[in-house]
Amino acid sequence: MTDSLTFNSLDLSIYGLIINRSGNNHTSFNRNTIQLDTRAFASRGKREALQINTDFTIIGNSLSDSQEKLANIKRVLTTLETGQLIFDNMPDVYYNASLSQLDCQRLGHKDLVGTISFLCADPYGYSTTETDQTDNITTDPKAVTVTVGGSAKTLPVFTLTAGESLSGPISVKNNDTGEELVWDSSMVSTDELEIDTEHWVVKKNGTASMTDVSGQFPRLLPEQDNHIVVTGFGTTGTLNTVFRSRFI
């Protein structure tokens, strides 16, 4: 079996594309920073864009067939500015990638060889499986365990659904990172409080509610159990945690 790649849900092996070598194996790491990562973590930097270089062969029945397949590959890779890139050698991880460069030359009488370069402004890989975990809040405070894979800190969305009237403050803390977000306002039964760690926003019933927010957005550590503690939320609500493990 030969390896190829999928871009925006289309398997490019149908165009005879074989990946001979790819730079997506996470065996290297570059700590260069270019700007602040988030407003909630001002002391940390953001990784610079990731470039993935892949050596490929296009197998055709004739030179014209290989050239037609190359044209189709270019069309797929340039249809969207950014698409999900998945390599066969790592099928559980995708990148948000765009075509940066494609170089190609003839190999023999009918095949083509070359290099495709992808640019990922977001340098992280993401699990193709989303974790969606709901825990009942039965005590105050309430501790729940969230298990995370990957190799980079993960940015979850926490959604608290109230089962009773609450006057605040309400806090969500990751005991393993020490990061705690506090929202000091009121809720009634069925109200939803969403804490979006990736986009640094707290919403009540879908509307931004940042006036009464303090602390840090709690992230999740990779390859371990994360111990999340909810305080001030009574004993009849729920906590929903949604995330994709990230890879660096």
What CATH number has the domain bearing residue 184? 2.60.120.860
The DSSP code for 196 is: E
| Lowest-confidence region among 35-39, 95-99, 115-119, 176-180 | 35-39
Give the end of a domain, one of 127, 150, 169. Answer: 127
For residue 176, pLDDT over 70 is answered with yes
Give the end of a domain, one of 69, 92, 127. Answer: 127
Which residues, in sequence order, are bridge partners of residue 6?
11, 86
Report the chain's mean pLDDT, rounded to a whole number.
91
The structure's pTM equals 0.87
Give residue 147's Cα distance to chain centre: 16
Provide, rounded to the nearest whole percent, the portion of the chain with pLDDT above 90.
85
Domain of residue 184 covers 131-247
Count of domains for the chain = 2
pLDDT of residue 116: 96
- Judged by phi (left if over 0) then psi (alpha if -120 to 50, else beta), residue 234 lies in left
Q: What does the angle CA 12 – CA 149 – CA 1 come to, to the nearest 5 degrees? A: 30
For residue 87, pLDDT over 60 is answered with yes
Beta strands in 167-223 (DSSP E): 170-174, 179-183, 192-196, 201-204, 207-208, 213-215
Q: Are residues 54 and 74 in the same domain?
A: yes
Q: Are residues 169 and 204 in the same domain?
A: yes
Q: Are residues 123 and 135 in the same domain?
A: no
pLDDT of residue 27: 45
For residue 229, pLDDT over 90 is answered with yes
| Lowest-confidence region among 20-24, 38-42, 47-51, 199-203 | 38-42
Counting beta carbons within 10 angstroms of the beta carbon of residue 75, is it exposed (0 to 12), middle (13 to 18) or buried (19 or more)?
A: exposed
Q: Are residues 211 and 105 in the same domain?
A: no
Q: Which two tokens stand for residue 243?
A: 């995330």
What CATH number has the domain bearing residue 70? 2.40.30.200
Q: Are residues 140 and 220 in the same domain?
A: yes
Residue 26: Cβ within 10 Å count: 13
Provide, rounded to the nearest whole percent, the portion of the chain with pLDDT above 70.
90
pLDDT of residue 31: 52
The DSSP code for 166 is: B
Q: Are residues 168 and 231 in the same domain?
A: yes
For residue 174, pLDDT over 60 is answered with yes
Give the end of a domain, one of 103, 127, 151. Answer: 127
pLDDT band at 2 (very low <50, low <70, confident <90, very high): confident
Residue 29: Cβ within 10 Å count: 8
Residue pLDDT, tens place only, 28-53: 445 554 444 544 444 455 678 999 99
Q: Are residues 96 and 172 in the same domain?
A: no
Q: Are residues 136 and 172 in the same domain?
A: yes
Beta carbons of 135 and 163 less than 8 angstroms apart: no
Q: Are residues 196 and 152 in the same domain?
A: yes
Q: Which two tokens stand for residue 135?
A: 């825990």
pLDDT of residue 25: 56
pLDDT of residue 108: 85
Q: Are residues 82 and 116 in the same domain?
A: yes
Q: Are residues 171 and 226 in the same domain?
A: yes
The DSSP code for 151 is: S
Q: Are residues 106 and 138 in the same domain?
A: no
pLDDT band at 168 (very low <50, low <70, confident <90, very high): confident
